[in-house]
Structure 1
Amino acid sequence: MKTLKALSALLAYPSSTQASAVPEIRDLLHEEAVVATEQLEALEPLLSALSVEDVYDLQERYGMLFDRTRSLSLHLFEHVHGESRDRGQAMVDLRSVYATAGFEIDCGELPDFVPLFLEFCSLRPQDEARHLLSEPAHVFAALGERLRKKESAYAAVFEALVAIAAAQPTAEALDAVVPDAGDDPTDLRALDAAWEEEEVRFGLGSGAECGVDVLTAKVRQARRPAPGVAVDEVRPARTVFTHLSSRA
């Protein structure tokens, strides 16, 4: 389902490459018609902003939303497990899902990073992808509501994901989402304290460079290219998924 790849691209860190891809993303969303007309119209403000606004302004807003506001984190398990040690096992389990399907993750990405998860879903058959989206649909719904309250155009992406999912989130699932703590993205001392975590390794042989702190820093600077568009020469593309069968 290419629509999920397109929505993944919209959640990437803003860049000139992303801006140049907006017309192709818009065309893909309309041609595949997975997203309803009403939702396509809701996505238009974000598409327009990403294509015409100053990239540095876009990057600043993106950072304030997703990097400095923990309740808007683009890591799924942040909203499910919070500080619980269950979060580490959930990471391992999700990585296993990717591996079972024949893919492995570049060490620069956490398994629960939303754009990565969407990219994986986009590679699965449509029915399977819809059911995969149902699992974190309650998180998508919560993020959409929180972004809507902040009058952020990114809310439309999460609302579209909820609509695409095979099943809508139950009230019980929504209640299980870690509550919005009302964190202040301008309070850097509080932010540093909130993000302090023990290093988590994913499987045997994981090097120190795969610790949560290092990985999170890399994820926050992620600039993966939008689908089908050449990458800026100064920032080469990274392989996110590698077929396990190709490994020695």
Structure 2
Amino acid sequence: MALTYRALALLLRYPTPEVQALAPAAIEAIEAEALVPAPIGRALARLAADLAEGDIFDVQERYVWLFDRTRSLSLNLYEHVHGESRERGPAMVALLELYRGRGLELSANELPDHLPVFLEFLSILPDAEAASLLGEASHVLAALGERLHKRDSPYRAVFGALSALAGDPADAEALAALMQEPDDDPGDLEAMDKLWAETAVTFGPAETGCPQAEALVSAMAVPPTSRHGAGAVA
């Protein structure tokens, strides 16, 4: 079990005074476990300092602009797999049952595929199993990291850390499929209105889908005790 996952989850949560107060402790936990490369650790420390020392309204506005108003940066993992299709619902239910099977109960306003929630879950698993599950989403994490890097956002350090922790590297084909999709500009209000009016937005080629989408869903839906070894999925 690694506190690093919980620390990264905190850095990705909506900034509140509590998050600001705990950000330095999150970096201490990451440094103590030394599971991420030192350069990424230093970038995480800069993010934590920025969160802790920044004006609360400024850091909250930045967060909303990035992760709430920009769908291509959504922190809801299944949005990049299923979009708003009906398939997302059963996948969410399966993931919720997986959490409950390990004793993790969510509050009414938490989505099971929300990345900070998923990282909290990984923090209670054995390290190898957590890395394996994280690896199933590595292409989504890499795409988010690249989009944040393009924006010169300090949050990109979190995704660099997650890529380093993942048991498997991002599949090149799956990553390319995600990166081919439009990267939203929340400042373009006309385009955003059109995007949010769509009923079934997907983040992969319309006909073929994302190559690792089914693997991500099935890996999360299988109870950990029935996995082979560390829980790797072929």
- TM-score greater than 0.5 by the shorter chain: yes
Distance 2:178 2:95 in 1: 18
Q: Which moved more, 1:40-49 or 1:113-122?
A: 40-49
Return the structure number with greater relative CO, CA threshold 8 A, min gap 6: 1
In structure 1, the residue matched to 2:174 is 173
4+ aligned runs moved over 6 Å, structure 1: none
Shift of 1:187: 4.1
Structure 2 unaligned blocks of 5 or more: 200-234
| Structure with greater proportional helix content | 2
The letter for the 1-side match of 2:94 is D
Pairing of 1:129-140 with structure 2 (within 5 A) = 129-140=130-141
Shift of 1:174: 1.3
Pairing of 1:142-161 with structure 2 (within 5 A) = 142-161=143-162
Shift of 1:20: 1.4
> SS of the counterpart of 1:105?
coil
In structure 2, the residue matched to 1:111 is 112
Q: CA RMSD in A?
A: 1.9
Percent identity, aligned pairs only? 49
Distance 1:68 1:15 in 2: 18
Structure 1 unaligned blocks of 5 or more: 199-248
1:119–1:148 Cα change, 3 Å = same
Distance 2:166 2:145 in 1: 14
Distance 1:138 1:39 in 2: 19
Distance 1:38 1:178 in 2: 25
Counterpart check, 1:36 vs 2:37: yes
The letter for the 1-side match of 2:183 is G
May I ask how many residue pairs the two structures share in their alignment?
Answer: 198
The letter for the 1-side match of 2:142 is A
Pairing of 1:1-248 with structure 2 (within 5 A) = 1-177=2-178, 179-188=180-189, 190-191=191-192, 194-195=195-196
> SS of the counterpart of 2:105?
strand
Shift of 1:99: 2.3
Q: Alpha-carbon deviations, 1:4-26, whole Å to 9, x = none?
A: 00000000111221111122111
Contact 2:143 2:179 (8 Å CA) reproduced: no
1:152–1:19 Cα change, 3 Å = same
Shift of 1:175: 3.1
Contact 1:79 1:178 (8 Å CA) reproduced: no
TM-score when normalising by structure 2: 0.78
Q: Alpha-carbon deviations, 1:181-200, whole Å to 9, x = none?
A: 232213456545544587xx
Distance 2:84 2:109 in 1: 21
TM-score when normalising by structure 1: 0.74
Contact 2:143 2:178 (8 Å CA) reproduced: yes
1:70–1:143 Cα change, 3 Å = same
